[in-house]
Every structure is written in structure tokens, then in C-alpha cells.
Structure 1
Amino acid sequence: MTTTAGTIDRAAIEHALMTDGITALKGAFSAAWADRMREDIEAAFEEAIGREGGAVGRGPNRYYVEIHPEQLRGFLDIVSHPWFRAVCETALGPDYKVLELGFDIPFAGAQNQPWHRDFPSPPETYEGRRLTSLAFNLTAVDTTEDMGPFEIAPGTQWERGEDFDHGMFPARETWPRYEAIAQRKLPRRGDMSARSALTLHRGTANRSQLSRPVLVVGVDAPGAGHDAFHDMAMTQDFSDSIPEDVRAHLLGRVVDRLEPIVQQHTIEGLVMGEA
């Protein structure tokens, strides 16, 4: 389900997340806003790629980097956006927490990833059919077919996954089933999507000569437990500048000085090469 800016239908949001496992808002921000986001992503990548643990490989020519909110000029625009807040409240309840900010960059030559989910499914989801986390994505470019678009297998957020490798990677012989139902996403600058990271997905081969950076914002329901894999932080001045009704939903620590993040949330199967 994709909506346009100015319309928020919570029933439709819930239906999309409970069925396909993904929903989206076209034109959440302007193209110029997305261009500034890309500038910040590229600056953060140049800093991260030059130090140990700064950028994690997610397959050939594909990287993931976590950053602090102050490294992204548009961070508060995202977490205070009415649609972002409505999706979080609808899926995760009123006490949701934003705990992850990062970005994926598949460069030219990136290969098909294996079908995967980002972590094993908890009992609350595969038994209770309740989502406990969301991943929001915002593209920094207008995505085209040759840039290695994101693919998702709708409805697979409910699969138990007990036979998946590490609880995340279904066996290769089952991939044709996911390919048969796959939806390929071609978002444009300014679009924002939200999905269950348990819905099986993959990045596809980037056959262009361009990179395809995409921002990721991770959100948990209380008790989901993914905060152990992330270390978002902010200075006191930045924290004080955030409206209290927004700050209450941010999990980041307040620190005297920001330190570069050493990536903790590695996904071993995505580091091993071409799917």
C-alpha cells in the first residue's frame, strides 16, 4: 500500500503491514530534502570507510553504516513526521522507541543478496501475529531498474523461520517461491516506506554505474530487545533542542562528545559474497 502526502489512514497502514508487510508514503519530503540527505550520507560514508568497524560489508560492493542523529540534518524531520509517528503508533504502540539510524549503499557491481530477514522472528510474531519492530527506508536517489532495486516477498513476515540458517536465511531451494511473489520497489527521492524487517527481502544486482544509497531508521516496541545491537547517541545541546514529545521516543544516550559508531549488527550471511 502506497499513500500520498496529506493522507494518513491508520486502518490502511495496519492492513498493509499485516498483509504485505510493507507500506509507503509518496512525497513525504521534497527532492531537495532528499538531496541534502544524500550529501550527509556520502560524508558519513567517507568517514566510516576509513576506520576499523566503521562500514560493514553486506556483500560485494555493498555497505552498511550506522550514524548518530546529529550527522543527518533531516533526522528530526523524519522522526517528527506525522506519517512516521502514525505508523509507529499503529504497529508498535504509543511507547515505541527509535534506536537505529544508518544507511545501505549498493555501489556499481553489487550482486543479488540472498533472501533474508534482518533477525530471527520472536514468538510474539510467529505465534501471536504481533509486530515488535519496524524499519523505515528513505531513498537518496530516484531508483531505476538497473540500480539494484530492493525486492520484498510480501506476507513472509509471519513465517516462523525455525529452519532458516541463523533464523534469517531460508534455504536456497526455497528461493523460487519468494522470487515468484517478489515485489520490486522503485522509490523516488522524498518517498518513505515502513516494513517489518522480518518480511523476507533482498537487494538485487546493481548493473548501473551509480550508487543507490538508502537511509534506514529502526524502531522497536517496548521489550523487542534490538537496542543491544545499536548505540545511538547525541550531545546534550542536540537533545535539548528536540521537542519533548519526540525526544521521549528516542533511545539514544546523551554524551559529552560523540564517538564514531563501531558497527555491531553484522549479518554474516550477507558478508559472504554473491548469493
Structure 2
Amino acid sequence: MPRCNMRVMNVGEAAREAIYTDGITALRGAFSASWADTMREDIETAFAEAKDRPGGAVGRGPKRYYVEIHPEQLRGFVDLVTHPWVTAVCTAVLGPQYEIVELGFDIPFAGAVNQPWHRDFPMPAVTRDEGRLNSLAFNLTGVDTTDDMGPFEIAPGTQFDDSPEFGHEMFPPKPHYARYNELAVRKYPQRGDISARSALTIHRGTANRSELSRPVLVLGVDAPDATNGDKHDMAVTRPYWEALPPEVRDHLRCPVVDKLTPITQKHTIEGLVMGEA
């Protein structure tokens, strides 16, 4: 096997082990800081368009929003989905027929409070019955994260936690919080870093005590048997589709349209609007 292919395989397998063990892994400096600055510009432009449109910016708690966008709204989309680390992780965890199903961003503004501990959707049967993870969430920060900006907090190793007590099958009840608080690790990504995680791993955004927003891009990827794509309406125009590299088209499962329509979100996370947990 050529050495470069062996290296990509090793990178993917190491990431797969980390995701199955801790629920999260990361690559520092995957992109330049200037690339991340351009990404943030695109996020801010998209948020300005979405915030006053019904279903455009969905609340994920006080002063915290989530917005879904189309690939054409992100100038670095092709850079992102063809990055060797991203493709290696997707292939190793989800298989060679993985599907890109979601593109969006979270923004906690000044005054955002602690979210309740949660996972992003109910555990699918294949995870509960077979112990197999069939989706990934990639995150890229638009700022250099500091402790007062409300960092992302995750409880490693909790992606397989399962209890009938979970509200909406996603929210552990407060008696479970002591364990998650003990396991909790805060993440401080810098511009250009990228992480990959199982969105089943219990996590939360923390209180933003700064005067700055902390935008984070989200790329959602499924194995062929996952159904997260049903909750998203990503699309591309025909000229954009035809200009995409074949290796992107092979994994992009979305309609090709004459004109893009702003996305009205189907996927809301119950409970995150309740304020500090």
C-alpha cells in the first residue's frame, strides 16, 4: 500500500477509536486563521439574513441561535469537505458511502447561559442495539475561544449512555448532572482547528460572560442508514453542482435546484429554550 494511503488510513482509524472511546476528536490547525475569518464573515452574513425570517434562526437557549445554510453560502465549503482529515474520519467512522446532510452554525451571543446537558437527537436503534455510530458532527470555530466566551463542554465517553429517564430521549434529568459535571471537559478551539464528534455524546454550551459572540460552523455527515438528512433542506444550484469536484458530488445528497430558497428549519432541540439548567 502506498505510504500516503497508509497514513490516511491510520489517521482515520485513530480518529475512529477516539470517537468510539471519548465521543470526540480534533485536528489543530487544519485551516489557516484567515480561512476561518472568511468563514466567520459568511456566517455573519447568513445570520443577518436569517434572524428576522420565521424559522430562519432557531433559538437554542437565551441569546443562542442555530441557522442552517446552503453550501453556496460558505465560500470554503469545498475546502472543508475535501480536507484529507475530514474525508479520512468520515470514511473510517461512517464507511465510504458517507453522506453530507447538514451545514449550519451555532452562535452564542453575550449573555447566553448554560444549556442543559443534552445530546442532539435520540439514540438511533443501530447504536442502541449494535453499538455502531452512524453520524458525525464536525465543528469549526470562527474565533479564538477563551474561557469567558461560553466554551463548548463535553462529557467524554457518554455517547452510549441510555436511560428511559432522558427527556425527549435527549435530556438527562438533573439527578444525572453530577456525573456529567465530573466528566466535563471544556474545549478551547482556535481559528483553523476542526473537531469531529458523535452528537450523541452528552454536551452543552456554557455561559458567555464576554461581550463577544462565539460562532461555530457545523457540518453534519451520515452513514447511508442514518436518517438525519430528513431533518434538513440543504440544496445547490445546477451551476454550482456542475462545478463541484466529483469527490464532493459523490457524497452530497441534496436537491439540485434552479434557485435557492432560504432554509426553514425542521430540526429543533426541545428544552434548550428553557434558560439556565
TM-score with structure 2 setting the length: 0.95
Identity %: 66
Report the counterpart of residue 232 of structure 1 in structure 2: 234
What is the identity, as a one-letter code, of the residue corresponding to 1:251?
R
Report the counterpart of residue 182 of structure 1 in structure 2: 184
Instruction: Give the one of 253, 256, 265 matched to 1:254.
Output: 256
Instruction: Give the one of 10, 13, 16 matched to 2:12.
Output: 10
Runs of 4+ in 1 over 3 A off after TM superposition: none
How many Å apart are 1:174 and its aligned residue?
A: 0.8
Instruction: Give the one of 76, 84, 88 matched to 1:86.
Output: 88
Aligned alpha-carbon RMSD (Å): 1.1
Give CA-to-partner distance per residue, 1:129-170, whole Å, 9 cap, x none: 111000000000000000000000001001124321000000
List gaps (5 residues or longer) in structure 1: 1-5
**1:222 lines up with 2:224 in the alignment:** yes
Q: Is the 8 A contact 2:69 2:234 kept in 1?
A: yes
List gaps (5 residues or longer) in structure 2: 1-6
Q: Is the 8 A contact 2:11 2:89 kept in 1?
A: no
How many Å apart are 1:227 and its aligned residue?
A: 1.3
Inter-partner Cα distance in structure 1 for 2:247 and 2:164: 38
- 5 Å matches for 1:146-225? 146-225=148-227
Instruction: Give the one of 13, 19, 22 matched to 2:21.
Output: 19
How many Å apart are 1:268 and its aligned residue?
A: 1.4
Report the counterpart of residue 127 of structure 1 in structure 2: 129
Q: Is the 8 A contact 1:161 1:168 kept in 2?
A: no
Inter-partner Cα distance in structure 2 for 1:150 and 1:257: 35
**Which secondary structure state, in structure 2, belongs to the residue aligned with residue 137 of structure 1?**
strand
How many Å apart are 1:217 and its aligned residue?
A: 0.3
Matched residues, number: 270
What is the identity, as a one-letter code, of the residue corresponding to 1:22?
I
Instruction: Give the one of 78, 84, 88 matched to 1:76.
Output: 78
TM-score with structure 1 setting the length: 0.96
